[in-house]
Structure 1
Amino acid sequence: MAMDRSRVEDADWWRGAVIYQVYPRSFQDTNGDGIGDLKGITQRLPHIASLGVDAIWLSPFFTSPMADMGYDVSNYCDVDPMFGTLADFDEMMAEAHRVGLKVIIDQVISHTSDKHPWFVESRASRTNGKADWYVWADPKPDGTAPNNWLSIFGGPGWEWDGVRKQYYMHNFLTSQPDLNFHNPQVQQAVLDAVRFWLDRGVDGFRLDTVNYYFHDKHLRDNPPIIYDAETAGLESDTNPYSMQNHLHDKSQPENIEFLKRLRALMDSYPNRTTVGEVGDGPRSLTTLAIYTSGNDKLHMCYTFDLLGPAFSARFIRRVVSTFQDTVVNGWVCWAFSNHDVVRHVTRFAQTPAEREQVAKLSISVLAALRGSICLYQGEELGLTEAELAFEDLTDPYGIRFWPAFKGRDGCRTPMPWEVQKHHAGFTDAGRSWLPVPPEHSAAAVDVQELDQDSVLHHYRQALAFRKAHPPLLDGEMTFVDTHNLDLLAFIRERDGERLLFVFNLTREAQDFPLPMPMRNCLPIPMPGFAPEVDGGVVKLSALDAFCGRV
Structure 2
Amino acid sequence: MSNAISSKSLHPWWKGAVIYQIYPRSYQDTNGDGVGDLNGITQRLDHIASLGVDGIWISPFFTSPMKDFGYDVADYCGVDPVFGTLEDFDRLLERAHALGLKVIIDQVYAHSSDAHAWFAESRQDRTNARADWYVWKDPKPDGTPPNNWQAVFGGPCWTWDARRQQYFMHNFLPSQPQLNLHNLEVQQALIDVMRFWLDRGVDGFRLDALNFSLFDPEFRNNPAKSPAPRNVSRPFDLQEHVHNQSHPDLPVFLRRLRALMDEYGDIFSVAEVPGPQPLMEMRAYTEGEAHLNSAYSFDFLYAKRLSAEAVAASQSNWLGAPGEGWPSWAFSNHDAPRCVSRWFDGVDETVRAKLTNALLFCLRGNPILYQGEELGLPQAEIAYKDLQDPEAIANWPRTLGRDGARTPMPWSEAGPHCGFTEARPWLPIGQGHAALAVDIQKDEPHSALAFTRHLAAVRAGSEALRYGDIAFQEVSGDLLVFHRVYENETVKCVFNLGSAEVTTSIAGVSPEQILVSVGFDETADKGVPAYSCRIARL
Give the TM-score normalised by structure 1: 0.93
Stretches of structure 1 lacking an aligned partner (at least 5 in a row): 230-234
Residue identity opposite 1:450 in structure 2: D
Change (3 A) 1:278 1:116: same
Q: Which deviations, in whole Å up to 9, do the C-alpha atoms of 1:270-302 show, x marking residues without a partner?
A: 1211111011322x1221111111111101111
Any conservation in 1 of the 2:379–2:430 contact (CA below 8 Å)?
no
Any conservation in 2 of the 1:280–1:287 contact (CA below 8 Å)?
no
Q: Does 1:403 align with 2:391?
A: no
Q: Distance in 2 between matches of 1:49 and 1:500?
A: 27
Stretches of structure 2 lacking an aligned partner (at least 5 in a row): none
The residue that corresponds to 1:232 in the other structure is none
Residue identity opposite 2:490 in structure 1: R
Any conservation in 2 of the 1:289–1:328 contact (CA below 8 Å)?
no
The residue that corresponds to 2:350 in the other structure is 356
Q: Does 1:269 align with 2:264?
A: yes
The residue that corresponds to 2:529 in the other structure is 541
The residue that corresponds to 2:375 in the other structure is 381
Deviation at 1:529, TM superposition (A): 2.2
The residue that corresponds to 1:305 in the other structure is 299
Deviation at 1:547, TM superposition (A): 2.8
The residue that corresponds to 1:146 in the other structure is 146
Deviation at 1:11, TM superposition (A): 6.2
Q: Distance in 1 between matches of 2:189 and 2:216?
A: 21
Higher helix proportion, which one?
Answer: 1
Any conservation in 2 of the 1:11–1:270 contact (CA below 8 Å)?
no
Deviation at 1:512, TM superposition (A): 1.8
Q: Does 1:448 align with 2:449?
A: no
Q: Distance in 1 between matches of 2:135 and 2:260?
A: 25
The residue that corresponds to 1:190 in the other structure is 190
Is 525-534 or 293-302 further displaced after alignment?
Answer: 525-534
The residue that corresponds to 1:526 in the other structure is 515
Change (3 A) 1:527 1:521: closer
Taking only aligned residues, the RMSD between alpha carbons, in angstroms, comes to 2.3
Any conservation in 1 of the 2:29–2:421 contact (CA below 8 Å)?
yes
The residue that corresponds to 1:38 in the other structure is 38
Change (3 A) 1:485 1:397: closer
- Residue identity (%): 49
Q: Distance in 2 between matches of 1:467 and 1:236?
A: 46
Change (3 A) 1:307 1:226: farther
Deviation at 1:7, TM superposition (A): 10
Any conservation in 2 of the 1:225–1:244 contact (CA below 8 Å)?
yes
Q: Distance in 2 between matches of 1:486 and 1:44?
A: 38
Q: Distance in 2 between matches of 1:410 and 1:419?
A: 19
Aligned length: 534
Any conservation in 1 of the 2:514–2:537 contact (CA below 8 Å)?
no
Q: Which deviations, in whole Å up to 9, do the C-alpha atoms of 1:381-440 show, x marking residues without a partner?
A: 1111111111101110110111011311111011000111230000111x1111113411
Q: Distance in 2 between matches of 1:481 and 1:7?
A: 29
Change (3 A) 1:140 1:369: same
> Which runs of structure 2 are paired with 1:315-464 in the superposition (5 Å)?
315-324=310-319, 328-351=323-346, 353-429=347-423, 431-464=424-457
Q: Does 1:85 align with 2:85?
A: yes
SS in 2 for 1:490: strand
Any conservation in 2 of the 1:198–1:269 contact (CA below 8 Å)?
yes
Give the TM-score normalised by structure 2: 0.95
Any conservation in 2 of the 1:9–1:271 contact (CA below 8 Å)?
no
Any conservation in 2 of the 1:125–1:131 contact (CA below 8 Å)?
yes
Deviation at 1:545, TM superposition (A): 1.1
SS in 2 for 1:465: helix
Q: Distance in 2 between matches of 1:215 and 1:249?
A: 5
Q: Which deviations, in whole Å up to 9, do the C-alpha atoms of 1:304-333 show, x marking residues without a partner?
A: 111022211111112222343888521110
> Which runs of structure 2 are paired with 1:35-74 in the superposition (5 Å)?
35-74=35-74
The residue that corresponds to 1:496 in the other structure is 488
Q: Which deviations, in whole Å up to 9, do the C-alpha atoms of 1:208-234 show, x marking residues without a partner?
A: 0111111100001111235899xxxxx
Deviation at 1:140, TM superposition (A): 1.4
Change (3 A) 1:77 1:527: same
Any conservation in 2 of the 1:449–1:456 contact (CA below 8 Å)?
yes
